[in-house]
Amino acid sequence: IKECDWSSDVCSSDLSIPSMLDGSIQSVLKSSHDSWGEGSYKRKPAFVMCPPRYLSTAIPNNKFMKGEKIDVERAMRQYGRIKNLIMALGVKVLEVPPVKGAQDQHFVANLGLAADPFIFIANMKADGREIEEEPGRRFFEKMGYTVLQPPHDWEGEAETKLWKDKTYFGGYGKFSDWKAQEWIAKKAGIEIIPMKMISDDRS
């Protein structure tokens, strides 16, 4: 399943569909029969997604966004097709409600990270993205998760990638502070290997 170019009906072949449930967060999806205090979780295939209702390039946070025109209705149709395909494959879709003015909210990999037993919510530095934090917090708290937020700049699972077991690679530089990665590692009892981002594009 690939991420689509929102300005056309053509899907890119080299980008993964934006989702925070492609690996790490699956391990903390809790069965309705599990006890939170026992730390017993069942792995359930699922994607967190957000409809691109307010998709925009008004705030260009990388060079590829500058001057790009967006067809929101076409983006919504593409989103619907991808969502329906995922569900047809037996994968549950959990949707974060879109918020007016949150132009990048559909890139949910930036929203946070699941590291048993916590959901860590991003502390956005990029212009216009802080509006995504509180809706994300409410979304996961409503599901019964304990939500924490690092006191330093950090852009979620997009910057903290699971490698194996409790070992992650942690990007830092333009939009994330290494102090945030250290804070998360200490809280979650995981190891995060530092990787400095050297491209201004972050792409």
What does the block give as tokens for 85?
């395909």
Q: Given this model, what pLDDT does residue 100 score? A: 95
The verdict on pTM exceeding 0.85 is no
Q: Given this model, what pLDDT does residue 33 score? A: 31
What are the pLDDT digits (tens) for 144-194? 999 999 999 999 999 999 999 999 999 999 889 999 999 999 999 999 999
What are the pLDDT digits (tens) for 88-105? 999 999 999 999 999 999
Q: Given this model, what pLDDT does residue 40 score? A: 37
Burial (Cβ within 10 Å: 0-12, 13-18, ≥19) of residue 55:
buried
